[in-house]
Amino acid sequence: MLVVGVVVVVTVVVGLATFLVDRLVPYLPQSWEASIFPDFEAMRHTPTSEVEKAHERDLEALLQRLLIYWPERPDGLRVGLLESSQPNALAFPGGLILVTTGLVEQVESENELAFVLGHELGHYRDRDHVRSLGRGLALALVLTAMGQSGTVAELVGLSGQLSTRSFSREQESKADAFGLMLVEAEFGHVAGATDFFEKLPSPDTDLERSLASYLATHPLSEDRIEDMEALAEEKGWATEGEPNALPR
């Protein structure tokens, strides 16, 4: 009963901290991010071949094309490579987007890559990267204050994580919508935007799907595809078109 009580209290505390973080983030000046948070440039992969250098140039050129359609964008947005075989892209405080080498190798069109970049720009628009760090900090402070270790600490940590997961799924969905808007603005259609998600595996059974949907911070790929298709229909965006070939 004591453990259950602790878990409930921590969930409420982390939920309140999350609420406060979400309310305070819009008032945090963009210029403060670089001074408050660590310098993530150290994570950036330095291209060692002509192919990687070309990839980085192409990413930067595509990012600049997309930024035209976001007049209220903050200064200092840039993109680079992150050496990893896992396909992914990450938005860091200070305006840095890192795209893994594994993702660059898998995408098949500019449209597909543009959606990935647009999605990360959506996180910047809503300051999600700062919100996530703030929530993580709130959870860490609660765990430190508890001074617990072992099973109780694990349960407390899990309760805090689950209390913030629905927010993360909402953030991802909103970023998807923003990325899709940028793709349509640049290419005149949204064909190819969901290609990356269609390559990812999905749960095989209803039980696996239910568990994955509840526990995942990112919406399931098939759900994201359905949501983007519904948004395109609602906005009247063309879903058919010829994807632009990658410069490589």
Question: In whole angstroms, what separates CA 199 from the centre of its chain?
Answer: 18
131-157: per-residue pLDDT in tens? Answer: 776 666 666 666 666 665 455 555 444
* DSSP structure class, residue 220: P
What's the average model confidence in pLDDT over 196-211? 55
Query: If DSSP codes are grouped into helix, strand and coil, which group holds residue 61?
Result: helix
Distance of alpha carbon 236 from alpha carbon 221, whole angstroms: 22
Where in the chain are the domains?
Answer: 37-128+165-235
Average pLDDT over residues 214-221: 53
> Quick one: pLDDT band at residue 208, thresholds 50, 70, 90?
very low
Cβ atoms of 172 and 217 within 8 Å: the answer is yes
- Quick one: pLDDT at residue 38? 64
The one-letter amino acid code at 231 reads L
pLDDT tens sequence across 59-113: 999 999 999 999 999 888 999 999 998 888 888 888 899 999 999 988 999 999 9
d(CA 132, CA 21): 9
Provide the token pair at 180: 């899709």
The whole-model pTM stands at 0.76
Three-state SS at 164? helix
Q: Which CATH class is domain 37-128+165-235?
A: alpha beta
| 116 closest CA partner among 228, 239, 238, 4 | 228
The pLDDT value recorded for residue 19 is: 74
b/e string for 60-98 if b means 16 or more Cβ within 10 A? eebbeebeeebeebeeebebbbbeeeebebbbbbbbbbb
